Amino acid sequence: MSDMVRSLSTSGLAPKRQVQFWSDALTDLCGRFDVDPMHASSLEARINYTTVSQLKLCQIEVSQHRIAHAPSRVRSGEHPFVKILFQTHGISYFEQNGRHLELKPGDCLVYDVSCPHTIISPALTRHDVVIVPKELLRERGVRLSKMSACKLSARTGTGRIAHDFVHAVFDEATKLSPYNAIGVADSLIDLLLLPLREADTMFDRGGAEATYVRAQFFIREHLRDPDLSIDQISAALGCTKRYLHMLFSDRGVTVSDHIWQARLQNCRQELETQAGKTITDVAFSWGFSSSSHFSRVFRKYFGVVPSSIHKAQHHSPSPDAS
């Protein structure tokens, strides 16, 4: 199963202890910050958080305060994260690299945690946060070296869909198997990046990295097609098969292996979650044309036969069982 939901709160602590406690909580999540309650008599703060694969999902509520990742705090290699923050209550003021942004409920902020920044909240605020390792974004064509803070809307369109999905993932996180968590995390990242792609910001539209990202996206969209091939992918992307082979081989895998591995991961996810389907149904729905071939490659990839996972799912106790 995925990680549990953890909760931390400054309630009941002495005022001086509250600030240090909250600073320690933020440090454990994504890096060291200075915390200032701005002359308030106390700092009332709480956080619920969990992890889904490599992502951290947080629900945060804090009274009047200021947090800062000051230049003096910056160290090479620290804070290797990007934060995607959804403001749900109150107003906050964000500053980074000379940019000043006002955040209201319905706004979404995307920013590099490693760069010095300040967030001031004059009164109670609530926000949902997804903390994403930078490496996962580089794989998807995000130009982190040129990244600047970006404010988007989560009131409508892809921003709202992304925020709704964040809520759903948080609610279901503890029920996910490790393999399901990986798939859900990948889907969540792709969905969170949709508003940024629409805004045409922070993405490398040309070059090898962008083509590789486009190839991965095309493969995911056509993974159930048993005729999916490198010919089909190269034609859709407007590049040569040789170039595609080079892009994937540079990452230690062939195009064919990437396709079959993705199919196997999806098959395992369905076997773990959909007991009503037969092994053959699952295999054929993800592009396999032979049950014996599917069982053979499944065992080679995962170290277990698909029937063992299928049986475990059938014999798992009912949630209503006492």
Residue 216 tokens read as 């991965």
By DSSP bridging, strand 117-121 and strand 92-96 are antiparallel
Q: State residue 193's pLDDT score.
A: 86
pLDDT of residue 273: 84
Q: What is the pLDDT of residue 144?
A: 78
Task: Report how far residue 260's alpha carbon sits from residue 274's, in angstroms, rounded to the nearest whole number.
Answer: 20
CA torsion, ordered 234, 238, 243, 248, to nearest 10 deg: -50
Q: At what angle do helices 241-249 and 207-221 cross, to 10 degrees?
A: 100
What per-residue confidence (pLDDT) applies to 202?
55
DSSP state, 5?
P
**pTM tops 0.75, yes or no:** no
pLDDT at site 53: 94
Cα 222 to the center of its chain, rounded Å:
22
CB 128 within 8 A of CB 163: yes
| Block mean pLDDT (10 aa), the chain, length 322 | 83 94 90 91 96 96 94 70 96 94 96 93 97 87 78 92 96 91 91 77 60 86 92 87 87 91 92 85 92 92 89 55 38
Q: Specify the length of the chain in residues.
A: 322
Nearest to 62 by CA among 129, 130, 118, 126: 126
Print burial letters for 212-244: b (CB count within 10 Å at least 16), e (below 16). Answer: bbbbbebbeebeeeeebebeebbeebebeeeeb
Other CB atoms within 10 Å distance of the CB of residue 25: 21
> What is the model's pLDDT at position 56?
96
Set out the domains of the chain in order of their start, with CATH numbers. 6-198 (2.60.120.280), 208-314 (1.10.10.60)
